[in-house]
Structure 1
């Protein structure tokens, strides 16, 4: 990416159509793929209840994102970011949720949701891409996240259950004045514009599994990453590389 492009970030919300869809893992893998292409990526956890993003991080998780939108609103965003050591040319910094129930409740208020949008705006000014890990649309922070996004990728199981959940998600997005740009099916291809096959590297410690890998899983992550940020990046010859051309999926 050129120096002039680094000032414009793309905010992408990955919204789970249902619990257990694999949204957090998808976000982590896509962030790693973008970083491998030299991008600087910020991952913001809006899935306060499950707090799954923290499982992929090492070191301190405080102040977490819920503190940044409640008790520590005056703190710089950087205070709550945890760097992921990926050994690639780019960078991934994450703002995880890691909070007691009392603060989780306060982080779900309308006022805190507005603060979350402000934090996302700050991240967008500092990073090439901001990826949001969003739970099913049923709480203020989830609504704030999708409203702050330039693009929304709905993540769902590739199954009949996923098909029904995607339809509900489309309806909920419409209720809050938003719409999906992309639907990603995980562990199957029953729904979606793109699909991500299952991987044997299921543990958080094994993620991201797309780095330095070949095969269907890595290729799928590359395609989802390219489609999510809405950029067509041409890789020479037939080598897909990271962020290969996605043609019809760009600009949906």
Structure 2
């Protein structure tokens, strides 16, 4: 097995990158695939909030104190329920949705952000491709060693940006940063936020995928585990584009996914 790796890189902080990564993993698992999300946003550590159960060894430990341990040591199921309880991702879906989160004190995070640790991160991403059908790397705007590693080692890079004029401007800056490190942005996912004015969204970024607004609460995710509405339909188009895959999930409006591809 040699999985496709997708780096989701936030064009700005709070763009919805981590949530989108978790939703893509849940959607793939729903379709019977094994998908891992690897945290390359060590400062925010947002991926840890979606993990089912307690986190012991985390990704930063593998990059610093425990380099000989397998990736599975820091791998945890992503919660599949939407009511705040931790349940095993494999118990309700035909595939697996796993997270490799960062959950560490400042001192270890600092050591995990070095250039040497970034090279180890690249090897850990490669290790994940032997155990999963797809690998999503959750990365912050390219300004740290771990984000650069994600943007340069992945098979495909997609920018995640707010569906606003601010997001449009941030996307242009991100394209330049990724180009500076020898990579390229292959696609864009614009995320609408609840409460944003329609006019602001209409003037926003032109994207390959525009995700409608959903509840931003961690306890409300993942939407893609069971829902079939507009958000998941758009997400399915992004999954199929990013991983060159065809999902077998039925939606409320037959033929909509095909129209999204066109």
TM-score by length of 2: 0.86
1:164-243, aligned counterparts within 5 Å? 164-187=169-192, 188=201, 190-191=204-205, 192-199=207-214, 201-232=215-246, 239=254
Is 1:27 the equivalent of 2:21?
yes
CA RMSD of aligned residues (A): 2.0
Contact 1:12–1:151, Cα closer than 8 Å, also in 2: yes
Which deviations, in whole Å up to 9, do the C-alpha atoms of 1:168-192 show, x marking residues without a partner?
A: 0100010011111110100046211
Distance in 1, Cα, partners of 2:77 & 2:250: 31
Deviation at 1:246, TM superposition (A): 5.0
206-215 or 23-32, which moves further after superposition?
206-215
Distance in 2, Cα, partners of 1:20 & 1:40: 27
Which deviations, in whole Å up to 9, do the C-alpha atoms of 1:172-231 show, x marking residues without a partner?
A: 0100111111101000462111100101x3211111012221221111111111122133
Is 1:139 the equivalent of 2:144?
yes
Among 125, 129, 144, which residue is 1:124 paired with?
Answer: 129
Deviation at 1:245, TM superposition (A): 7.3
Deviation at 1:101, TM superposition (A): 0.4
Contact 2:31–2:249, Cα closer than 8 Å, also in 1: no
Distance in 2, Cα, partners of 1:111 & 1:235: 41
Distance in 1, Cα, partners of 2:235 & 2:189: 10
Contact 2:2–2:133, Cα closer than 8 Å, also in 1: yes
135-144 or 186-195, which moves further after superposition?
186-195
What SS does structure 2 have at the residue aligned with 1:213?
coil
1:80-91, aligned counterparts within 5 Å? 80-84=74-78, 85-86=88-89, 87-91=92-96
Gaps of 5+ in 1: 1-6
Deviation at 1:58, TM superposition (A): 2.2
Instruction: Determine the structure 1 residue equivalent to 2:12.
Output: 18
Contact 1:234–1:244, Cα closer than 8 Å, also in 2: no
Contact 2:234–2:260, Cα closer than 8 Å, also in 1: no
Residues 45 and 160 of structure 1, relative CA distance in 2, 3 Å threshold: same
Contact 1:43–1:131, Cα closer than 8 Å, also in 2: yes
Contact 2:31–2:248, Cα closer than 8 Å, also in 1: no
Contact 2:31–2:247, Cα closer than 8 Å, also in 1: no
Gaps of 5+ in 2: 79-87, 193-200
TM-score by length of 1: 0.90
Distance in 2, Cα, partners of 1:216 & 1:169: 27
Report how many residues are paired: 240
Is 1:68 the equivalent of 2:73?
no
Distance in 1, Cα, partners of 2:261 & 2:53: 39
Is 1:156 the equivalent of 2:161?
yes
